[in-house]
Structures are given as C-alpha cells and as structure tokens.
Amino acid sequence: MPIYNAPTKDIQFVLHDLLKVSEQDIEGFEDLDRDFTGAVVEEAGRIATEVLHPLNVVGDTEGCVMENGVVRTPTGFKEAFEQMKEGGWTAMDCDPDYGGQGLPYVMHTAAQEPFVSANMAFNMYQGLTHGAYSAIYAHGSDEQKQKYLPKMVSCEWTGTMNLTEPHCGTDLGLMRTKAVPNGDGSYKISGQKIFISAGEHDMADNIIHLVLAKIQGGPEGIKGVSLFIVPKFMVNDDGSLGARNSVACGKIEEKMGIHGNSTCVMNYDEATGFLVGDEHKGMRAMFTMMNEARLGVGLQGYAQAESAYQNAVAYANDRLQGRDVTGVKNPDGPADPLIVHPDIRRNLMDQKSFVEGARAFTFWGAYLIDRAHKNQDADADGLISLMTPVIKGFLTDKGFEYATAAQQVYGGHGYIEEWGMSQYARDARIAMIYEGANGIQALDLVGRKLAQDGGKHVMAFFEMVKTFIKENEGNEALKKDFLEPLKAASKDLQAAGMYFMQNATKPNNALSGSYDFMHMMGHVCLGLMWARMAKAAMEALEGGASDTEFYETKIATGRYYMARQLPATSMHLSRINTGGDTVMALEAANF
Ligand SMILES: Cc1cc2nc3c(=O)[nH]c(=O)nc-3n(C[C@H](O)[C@H](O)[C@H](O)COP(=O)(O)OP(=O)(O)OC[C@H]3O[C@@H](n4cnc5c(N)ncnc54)[C@H](O)[C@@H]3O)c2cc1C
C-alpha cells in the first residue's frame, strides 16, 4: 500500500516565507496568518491522508461501474464525498452570497494540493463542480446564480464541462451539438459529448451539465458556439427537483488511469437547456474559467509527482541493493539501501527539486489570480494569462516524467501493480491531455500570449527576473549558485523570444519551437521561484529560525535545481534556433 503524508511544512513555507501572504495588500489576505493557514492545511492534510488516500487504490482497482443507466462510484467514495461536503472543503473560495467561505484562491489551492495528491480521481468530482460554478458565477444571470450556485457550492449538486465530441476536441469550431429555441427562453439541446468527467455518478442529487452547442442559424465555426446549463433533473422555482431531463450517460469509458472518476459519453436528446451569457459567446464564457482550470490541472501534475516521490524515498531507504562506492553504510546488512547510490540520489533530487519549485510556481499563480480579481490588477491578470499555459503544460509534462522516475526507483517492483507505483504514472498521464493538450498550451503561449497586449506581459516577466537579480547582486550567498544560473537561463529565454519575433512571418519556424519554449519558460519560472525560496530560507536562518535543517535542505535542493535542471534552457534554445526545416523536411507520406 503506497504512503502519503501531506507536506504541510512545505506548503506553509511557500505561503509565508515566499509569498508572505499575510503582508499582501489584497482583500481577505489579512486573515491568512501562519496559525490560520496552518490549521486549514493540517486539517486538509489529515483528511487527505486518513480519508482520501486509502480510497486511491480502491478507486483504481474497482473503477466506476454502469448498470441499467446508473453509474456507481467505487466503494467508500460516497461517504468520503459527504465528509468533504460537511467540512466545507468544496466551498472554500466560493462567494458567501451562495454559501461559500469567501477565502482567497491561494488558500483554496493550498488545501487542494493534499486532496489531489491523495486521490486525484476522487477530487475531480469537486474540481469539475468548481469549474462549472465559476462559469455560472461569471456569466450566469442572477436568477441562474440563485437557482444553481448554492447547491453547487455545497456539492449537493455536482457540475460538468461538456466540450468534446467524437469528431472535435481541440478544434471546437467543428462542433455539431445543436440548440433550438423553444420560444420560452429555453432551448432543445441535441448531440453527443464524449469523455465527460464526472458526467454521471451516484454521489449527488442532481448534476448540472454545462454544455457548448451551436444555436441553429448562428455564425459558422467557433464564433457560433454558445454555453448552456442542462440539469440532469429540472429545477423548480422553489428549488425542488422536477422531471428528469433527456440527457443520459451512454457508457463509461475504459481508460488508462483515474479509474475512480467516471468518464462518460453523454447523449443529449432534445434536452432542455438554458443559455448562459450571450448567444454565440460560449467560448468567452469557457475562457473565463480557463486560468483557474488550467492551474488546477498543473497542480494535478506536480501533486501526483509529490505522492510518487514520497513512496520512492521510502523505498530507496528500505531496499537493500549493492554497496556504497565510497564505503559500506550498512555493515550489519547484506547490502546498503538504494539511497546511497549517486544515480538514485540524482533521480530523487530531480523529483524533489521539481515538486517544490512547481508548488511555489502554482501558488504564485493562484496569488496572481487573487490579485487580478480582488484588486482589479490588470498587470497581474496579464501575467497569469501568460503563465497559464506554462503552469498547465510544463508542470503536467514534468509531473508525469517524475511519476515515472519514482517508478524507476523501484526497478521491476515499480512496474508490478502490488506496490501501487504504476497508478501515479497512469493517473498523471491524463493531465498532459485534457484542458487543452500540452502541444496546444505551447501553441497558445507562443502564438497568442507572447504577443498579447503588444508583448507587455512577457516584457514585465523579463523585467521581474532582471530586477530580482539586480536587487540581490550584493548577496554573495545567492550570487554564484542562484543569480548567475538564473541570469543565463533568462538570457536563453529572451534569445528564443527574439528568434520568434524575427520569424513572425515564418510560422513553421516559430511553431516548431513552441514546445521547447514552453519548457524553457517553465524552467526559468522554477529557477526564479528557487532563487526567491533560497533567499527566503537564508533570511529565515539569519533571523534565527529554529528548524535549521528544514531551511538548509531548501537551499541545497534549490542549488540542485539551478545546477542540474535549469541548464536545460540552453538545449531548448539550440533546438529552437534550428527552426522548422528539419521538423518539416519529410512529406506526410514518408512517415
Ligand atoms: C479521461 C478524460 C477526461 C476528459 N474530460 C473532459 C471533460 O470533462 N470535458 C470535455 O469536454 N472534455 C474532456 N476530455 C477531452 C479532452 O479535453 C480532449 O481529449 C483534449 O482536449 C484533446 O482533444 P482530442 O482528444 O479530440 O484530440 P485532438 O484534438 O484530435 O488532438 C490530437 C493531437 O493533435 C494535437 N493538435 C490538434 N490540433 C492541433 C494544432 N492545430 N496544432 C498542433 N497540434 C494540434 C493535439 O495537441 C493532440 O496531441 C477528457 C478526455 C479524457 C481522456
């Protein structure tokens, strides 16, 4: 049975030593002192460890089952969902007008990490509901908000997002699901959606489907897409449930991972739907919640790597194989533990330095979302918009890479189901695909976000890195190990940006390098996070912090990232500079 312990100390370090949340001039942040956030994170960690984590393997092995149109979630999911609802964990950052607790998004993110690490498939039922809540909250009418949001905040009703169809995933302009006005303000929705997470299950009284469809007679392609609320059970004016709507689950998909989450084919057969926002503006409504949803998926990436890493460390300390090349460490045993070997250390350091950097990057992203929303800060909004594809694409690619790296520590035992390591790899894999496949994140970054608002946001990011380096130049402890590598990596990133500008008229050159650029930018962001974390840890030590081992470990882990991971930017730059010729050299027939 795999283990999981919520890394509460590391979470607190990011919230307080790095982001200094309680000192930020953002509404609601003044309450986020160490005691308060500590209590929340400890309790989230306890639930994750005691309630959700034991159900992770159960969810994986049992999966969801459909019988006579009813989808059953794995044993124990229903009871655990009740506990999440009762504890108010589904409502943390939601508006108090609808029953939420109104906490900052960064606090919601801090509590989400243990839940996702402990049981990603389970947490998706609530995660999807939160996404649907955000879309209705931002674009729904007052009446719709009153009708649906309180029950969604409490998760008595869950939510779904219905975009994908058999012939259209990335290219939503090809959508065929249609909406025909009924003449009373409602619409008849007909069509088939596939791969719908939490589309049907037995944990809620009602399911509020958010469905993209084309109103007949509207513009062609993506410009003709509108967003609709399609409840599983109609909701009467007094809030009671009415007749069953004509939406049904056709089947649940067999899939590689996240077996505990029901991935459904949903059939809409003249189902009654209600327009959210304006006609033909469905994509705008979807994009409103994209920053949050994609940040949530980025979190899934590193949170799975965190769980896998914890197990790999335990195994490396336990498994006896070979002897330490510098001298025997376990003379009473037949061999030394794996953890003495440099190659195992390299692997574990890769995982550890990624996960801790990724946590900082994600929480910083959540903080930017709070700053953008609560302070109407356009610069923070621009910055998080730029960072969103990086958080989603880079953190999920690396999250999967390190979940499999953790498997590697187990040798053959990592491949055998008994140890539970393959689940981390299988579960982490989907995060690279949904919420926009990672190739599309790279396309979004290079094709759209770099040039957004005249390139203002990427310039602001470069300036932020430059300012940090300049302000700390006199800090000898940071200079060689942190500032110099950060400067070199940032220079690589700027050179790649320049290459794209010079090749703006040759799209194949730019887009052949977009994936490399996304990874480069991810490395620079984690490099910046590590330099800032190292500074924070040094300050804590200078200030007489008692837990010297914790802070010294932080600094050493950061040094590893800067020395061994960050130089990847130069390889990515070399690849970008070769342009698209070698990428596009073959005719399609030659593959
Ligand atoms: C388990 C699971 C859960 C899901 N949950 C949901 C859900 O709740 N709601 C929902 O609506 N959908 C959901 N999806 C669907 C998911 O979002 C899509 O699978 C994803 O967006 C990709 O679409 P596609 O599979 O049709 O791939 P395609 O769009 O066919 O893309 C295939 C590949 O081509 C690449 N590609 C496509 N177009 C371009 C281009 N222009 N340039 C470069 N590369 C390109 C993509 O990056 C991808 O690698 C889920 C999928 C799975 C497997």
Query: How does DSSP assign 434-496, residue by residue?
Result: SSS-HHHHHHHIIIIITTHHHHHHHHHHHHHHHHHHHHTTT-HHHIIIIIHHHHHHHHHHHHH
d(CA 547, CA 540): 9
Minimal-distance CA residue to ligand 1 atom 22: 169
Atom of ligand 1 nearest to the CA of 198: 8
Q: Please compute the mean of the pLDDT values over residues 270-293 and round it to a whole number.
A: 89
Classified as helix, coil or strand, 132 is: helix
User: Residue 300 Cα, ligand 1 centroid: separation in angstroms?
Assistant: 17
User: Residue 516 Cα, ligand 1 centroid: separation in angstroms?
Assistant: 20
User: Residue 167 Cα, ligand 1 centroid: separation in angstroms?
Assistant: 10
Could you tell me what percent of the chain has a pLDDT over 90? 97
d(CA 199, CA 363): 29
| Predicted pLDDT of residue 425 | 97
Q: Which of 435, 484, 542, 587 is catalytic?
A: 435
416-420 long-range contacts, CB within 8 A, separation 24+ = 419/2, 419/311, 419/315, 420/1, 420/2, 420/57, 420/311
Q: Which of 158, 162, 164, 210 to mutate to test the pocket of ligand 1 (most atoms within 8 A of CB)?
A: 164
Atom of ligand 1 nearest to the CA of 162: 11
User: Residue 439 Cα, ligand 1 centroid: separation in angstroms?
Assistant: 10
Minimal-distance CA residue to ligand 1 atom 31: 170
Looking only at the bridges linking them, the beta strands covering 225-231 and 206-215 are antiparallel
Minimal-distance CA residue to ligand 1 atom 33: 437
Tokens of 369: 């979302």
User: Residue 515 Cα, ligand 1 centroid: separation in angstroms?
Assistant: 16
| Predicted pLDDT of residue 54 | 98
| Predicted pLDDT of residue 286 | 82
Minimal-distance CA residue to ligand 1 atom 37: 170
Minimal-distance CA residue to ligand 1 atom 23: 169
Q: Which of 434, 435, 446 to mutate to test the pocket of ligand 1 (most atoms within 8 A of CB)?
A: 434
254 belongs to the catalytic site: no
pLDDT band at 353 (very low <50, low <70, confident <90, very high): very high
| Predicted pLDDT of residue 118 | 98
User: Residue 162 Cα, ligand 1 centroid: separation in angstroms?
Assistant: 12
pLDDT band at 223 (very low <50, low <70, confident <90, very high): very high
Tokens of 532: 């800032």
Tokens of 281: 């503006």
Cβ < 6 A, ligand 1 pocket? 161-164, 169-170, 195-197, 255, 263, 430, 433-434, 436-437, 439-440, 443
| Predicted pLDDT of residue 69 | 84
| Amino acid, res. 106 | V
Atom of ligand 1 nearest to the CA of 257: 1
- pLDDT, one tens digit per residue, over 379-399 is 999 999 999 999 999 999 999
User: Residue 113 Cα, ligand 1 centroid: separation in angstroms?
Assistant: 24
pLDDT band at 288 (very low <50, low <70, confident <90, very high): confident
pLDDT band at 289 (very low <50, low <70, confident <90, very high): confident
- pLDDT, one tens digit per residue, over 156-168 is 999 999 999 999 9
d(CA 140, CA 113): 29
- For residue 221, pLDDT over 80 is answered with yes
pTM comes to 0.98
Tokens of 116: 């996702």
- For residue 290, pLDDT over 80 is answered with no
Average pLDDT in the chain: 96
Atom of ligand 1 nearest to the CA of 437: 47
Question: What phi and psi, each to the nearest 5 degrees, are found at residue 527?
Answer: -65, -40
- In angstroms, what CA-CA distances link 315 with 1, 55, 304, 420? 12, 21, 17, 12
| Predicted pLDDT of residue 240 | 96
pLDDT band at 504 (very low <50, low <70, confident <90, very high): confident
Q: 140-144, 283-287, 448-452: which has the minimum mean pLDDT?
A: 283-287
Residues present in the chain in total: 591
User: Residue 344 Cα, ligand 1 centroid: separation in angstroms?
Assistant: 35
| Predicted pLDDT of residue 384 | 96
| Predicted pLDDT of residue 285 | 84
pLDDT band at 291 (very low <50, low <70, confident <90, very high): confident
Atom of ligand 1 nearest to the CA of 170: 29
Atom of ligand 1 nearest to the CA of 128: 8
CA 495 to chain centre: 28
Angle at 379 between CA 376 and CA 384, to 5 degrees: 95
d(CA 404, CA 398): 10
Kindly tell me the burial class for residue 488, based on how many C-beta atoms sit within 10 Å of its own C-beta (0-12, 13-18, 19 or more): middle
Classified as helix, coil or strand, 207 is: strand
In sequence order, what are the beta bridge partners of 106? none
Question: What phi and psi, each to the nearest 5 degrees, are found at residue 579?
Answer: 70, -155
- pLDDT, one tens digit per residue, over 120-131 is 999 999 999 999
Q: Which of 123, 158, 170 to mutate to test the pocket of ligand 1 (most atoms within 8 A of CB)?
A: 170
- pLDDT, one tens digit per residue, over 435-475 is 999 999 999 999 999 999 999 999 999 999 999 999 999 99
Minimal-distance CA residue to ligand 1 atom 6: 196
